[in-house]
Amino acid sequence: MIFKLHYIVFTFIIFIIPGPVLCKDIIVCPDCEIRSVKEAISQSANGDRIIIKKGIYTENNLSIDKEIEITGEDFPVIDLEFKYQGFIIKSNNVKISGLEIRNISVNYMTDLSAIKVENSENCVIENNVITDTFFALYLANSDGCLIKNNKISCRAMSESSSGNGIHLWKCNNITIEYNETTGHRDGIYFEFVKKTTITANYSHNNLRYGLHFMFSDSNVYRENTFRENGAGVAVMYTRNIEMTDNKFEDNWGPASYGLLLKDISRSLIKRNLFYKNTTGIYMEGCEQIQVEENEFKSNGWATRILGNCMNNKFTGNNFVSNTFDVSSNSSRSENIYSGNYWDKYDGYDLDRNGTGDVSYRPVSLYSMIVDKVPESIILLRSFIVELIDATEKAMPVLIPETLIDDNPKMKMIEYD
Amino acid sequence: MIEIKELKMSYGKSRALNGINLSLEKGQVVALMGPNGSGKSTLLKSILGLVIPQKGKIFVNETDIANNYLYRTNIGYMPQIANYPENLKVKELFNIIRDIRNGSKEKDEELLEKFRIFEIYDKYFGQLSGGYKQRVTASIAFLFDPDILILDEPTASLDPLSTEIMKSKIIDSKNENKLIIISSHIISEMEELADRIVYLLEGSIRLNMNIKDIKNGSGERLGKAIARVLQSN
Amino acid sequence: MNTKILKYILFELLRNKFIILYSLILMVMSFSIIYIGQDSSKAVITILNLILFIVPLICLIFGTIHFYNSKEFIQFLLTQPVNRKSIFRAEYLGLSISLSLGFLIGVGIPVMFYGFLLSGMYLVLTGIILTFIFTAIAFLSSVINKDKVKGIGLSIIIWLYLTIIFDGLVFLIIYFFNDYPIDKFIIILTSLNPIDLGRILMLLQVDISALMGFTGATFQKFFGSFIGMAISAVFMLLWIFLPLAVSLRMFKRTNF
Ligand SMILES: Nc1ncnc2c1ncn2[C@@H]1O[C@H](COP(=O)(O)OP(=O)(O)O)[C@@H](O)[C@H]1O
Ligand SMILES: [Mg+2]
């Protein structure tokens, strides 16, 4: 009975206290009444908005367990002074925007981050500048968040002592767009992330991968640019990926790839640009991937397809100015190549239908030799190599018979 | 003027000069004679530094010519055969030698005029006949008024008219107290020009005498007199 | 003084029909390669192959023939008060500069016309360096042999050797000894061939993406830094100056 009375009183209070009082703005500034973000958070209630004015706030460990919005005016600086981590979001519907968060030191025990989101839904992290943090954005077990337009940078020195820019673990339905990440270990890192859309991000000069994910099915990657990352982009153990209109550029090095695909199946790779990578696409244990209408330009190896890849389809791609277009470690190929443009193709088109009358073998004998004996790269473009390739072309014995494009295009394919 | 001591020269295995000792003074025409292959050209080329003898020394005006090239300012040379680049103009050849001599002015243009070289000044050597090229060569040899003239078979490829011009030029030069060395195997030609005969055979000097002494007032033709002297040696 | 001789030798050679023809042929070939190929870097590579093949051949053969043809003129110059070194220098520079000009016009104009910029510039530079190298080798081959036919023969043999046989041997060595640490050896070995050096200098421009794919530390260092470029350049200069120094020594003792 008493309990019931309490309940009635409670509902009564809720109804008679007017709205504005419920959702108040709390102002924080260096010479306001409230000078610290921590205090503002503790004074806030669900639905409140904390507005942080310009200034430098040296604070730490800002745990948020209420549904509030924190927004900065003119990018107030939250300086963590290498002491501990920044915001930890534990409740739903939290929004953080307009802040500059900086300075977290390396920590081998905890994944210290500028903003950590744990077990929460519908958070929005937008327009923040995050510099020199171990991890920048860290989402675990969360759902439905929007991560937009953040500028994340770091000066990582070594792979083992650095964290990731945007790190997601066990998340669903996240939208990540228009962010820039640089100088971290991995620019964007996913593990067990589903139904997520990644659009128009720019991930560059990270120590290891620009984008790295594992066990993250059914995600869509569009219009992102991955440039000059230590090892390019690596994706593993995943199904149903859609990668369209991305750019993979300038990833140089012995273990560096525009896009490394390991155990990927039923996916679409379309209209991407692979430019100046040591290897454009590297595939290992992949099945049923459609590689369509991509442009491979000025790569060392446009594609390296290992023998354990099956039923992948390469159609309508442009292969231009690559040192090697296709290389494989196997003498058999169970993938389909059709209707691509190969700039090395020198066949003719008598019936003028735009498709060459003789089929094209994109694997050269020399590329197989280089695979076996890497030192022989020093003879690249020498007369003897031209001779070897010409001989093999005239009397093919070693190149995989089935690796053949029956409909090579005569002209570069135009996409619209 | 020219002093040659113990000169030995061979091309590979074949011996061309076999210990030559020779001393030549100015104000005379010396005929270097001998059959083909006796070493006349080789001896003349040694004086110019065109061939480099294995042994012996050559002094021109008291300077050792080894590793020297400036002494050639004083020598005019006409090789047995001369050839010039096809696409070079006659005028340009004259410019080259002028430049080599640091723009020093031509002193003696007599042959230039008599051979009418000015008329072909703008022609390319590719357009000229062998005789014309030889006339160009001859006029260059005399152009800078050198003290020594070395002419290797000068009349071999000249037409009779040019030969006469050459002869009188040679005599004029002698009268200017110059040393003129002419190689030839045509004895009759030398009879009217030469003061002295140096006769080469298989790379050795077999005779070196004034014509007067060879004939010794005998009234023989020169050829016969030479044969007689050679035999008596 | 020898710049003046050089000037006239240059005049003479630039009127040479063969050099004009050489330039024209290069130009026609370059323009058609650029016109047919859709992509500029493919065109650069095709022109590179052409250059690596033709430039050494032409310089060697034309250089050798020219040297023998100039013998009488050289003899004439030697009767003038100049030293042999000046004449040799003027002859060498005259020939290599005029062949380079022929090359520059034949390949440089088409390449610049299509605006290839950096890789085009490297292409032209490589061609010019090769011209200087192979003219020097042609002179060496001519000074060694008194006989014209023998000299031309030697030049052709040198060309065949450096263009085909040498790389074939390198290939066999790499293929059969790749279990041993031969990286350094291979790099030094290829540096012994100026055509390979020219090729590698270009590879560093057009194929750097592939070259960076190598794990061997020596290769990484060689290709991945300025070092490869510097070493190639130094060796190429050596390839000009060594044959020249040797042939000058012999030229000074030649009997004309
Ligand atoms: N450039 C040369 N190479 C080899 N042998 C030569 C050369 N020039 C001349 N000889 C040889 O040297 C000898 C002398 O030749 P040369 O001086 O030309 O004689 P000449 O002028 O009296 O006819 C001959 O046996 C000739 O074959
Ligand atoms: Mg003679």
Token look-up 């090395």 returns A344
Q: Supply φ then ψ for residue B18, to 5 degrees.
A: -120, 55
Amino acid at A167: H
Quick one: average pLDDT of B110-120? 91
Percent of chain A with pLDDT strictly greater than 70? 94
What 3-state class would DSSP assign to C51?
helix
What is the A399 CA–ligand 1 centroid distance (Å)?
A: 64
Quick one: average pLDDT of A13-28? 65
Per-residue confidence band for A19, with pLDDT thresholds at 50, 70 and 90: very low
CA-to-CA distance for C125 and C132, rounded, in angstroms?
Answer: 11
Per-residue confidence band for A11, with pLDDT thresholds at 50, 70 and 90: low
Q: Which helix (H) or strand (E) holds C67?
A: helix C40-69
Helices (H), B51-159: 90-100, 110-114, 130-143
pLDDT given for residue A91 in this prediction: 93
Percent of chain B with pLDDT strictly greater than 90? 64
Mean pLDDT, all residues of chain C: 89
* Fold (CATH) for B2-232: Rossmann fold (3.40.50)
Is B87 within 8 Å of C16 when comparing Cβ atoms? Answer: yes
CA-to-CA distance for C202 and C225, rounded, in angstroms?
Answer: 14
Structural domain boundaries in chain B: 2-232
pLDDT given for residue C5 in this prediction: 87
Is B84 within 8 Å of C73 when comparing Cβ atoms? Answer: yes
What 3-state class would DSSP assign to A82?
coil
Chain C: nearest CA to A277, how far in angstroms?
Answer: 6
Is C83 within 8 Å of B69 when comparing Cβ atoms? Answer: yes
**Pick among A375, A409, A413 to test the C interface (most C CBs inside 10 A):** A375
Quick one: average pLDDT of A249-262? 90
Structural domain boundaries in chain C: 3-253
Residues in chain B: 233
Per-residue confidence band for A216, with pLDDT thresholds at 50, 70 and 90: very high
pLDDT given for residue A415 in this prediction: 80
CA dihedral in degrees (A93, A99, A104, A107; nearest 10)?
20
Is A252 within 8 Å of C208 when comparing Cβ atoms? Answer: yes
Q: Which stretch, A264-268, B79-83, C47-51, has highest mean pLDDT? A: A264-268
Tens digit of each residue's pLDDT (9 = 90 or more) over B55-73: 999 999 999 999 899 999 9
C122 touches chain A (CB under 8 A): no
pLDDT given for residue C247 in this prediction: 96
Quick one: average pLDDT of C38-65? 89
List the Cα angle A238/A243/A247 in 5-degree steps: 125
Sequence-distant (6+) residues with CB within 8 A of C218 are: C183, C184, C187
Longest dimension (CA), chain C: 61
Pairing verdict, β B55-60 and B2-11: antiparallel
Global pTM reads 0.84
pLDDT given for residue A69 in this prediction: 93
What is the B188 CA–ligand 1 centroid distance (Å)?
A: 23
Tens digit of each residue's pLDDT (9 = 90 or more) over C117-159: 778 888 899 999 999 999 999 999 999 999 999 999 999 999 9
pLDDT given for residue A108 in this prediction: 74
Question: Closest Cα to residue A216, out of A156, A169, A283?
Answer: A169
Tens digit of each residue's pLDDT (9 = 90 or more) over C222-256: 776 777 788 888 999 999 999 999 999 999 999 98
Is A9 a residue whose pLDDT tops 80? no
pLDDT given for residue C39 in this prediction: 67
- Residues on chain B touching C66 (C-beta within 8 angstroms): none
Token look-up 């239908």 returns A353
CA-to-CA distance for C200 and C189, rounded, in angstroms?
Answer: 13
B136 touches chain C (CB under 8 A): no
- Residues on chain B touching C21 (C-beta within 8 angstroms): none
Is C8 within 8 Å of B92 when comparing Cβ atoms? Answer: yes
CA-to-CA distance for C12 and A345, rounded, in angstroms?
Answer: 45
**Token reading at A30:** 């260096």
Tens digit of each residue's pLDDT (9 = 90 or more) over A118-169: 999 999 999 999 999 899 999 999 999 999 999 999 987 777 778 899 999 9
Neighbouring chains of B at 3+ CB pairs within 8 Å?
C
Pick the atom of ligand 1 nearest to B36's CA: 23
CA-to-CA distance for C94 and A95, rounded, in angstroms?
Answer: 77
Our answer on whether the CB atom of B35 is closer than 6 Å to any ligand 1 atom is no
Is A18 a residue whose pLDDT tops 70? no
**Token reading at A188:** 């964007």
Q: Whose CA is nearest to atom 25 of ligand 1?
A: B37
Q: How many CB atoms lie within 10 A of CB C96?
A: 24
- What is the ipTM metric for this complex? 0.91
Tens digit of each residue's pLDDT (9 = 90 or more) over B143-190: 999 999 999 988 877 888 999 999 999 999 999 999 999 998 888 888
Quick one: average pLDDT of A101-105? 88
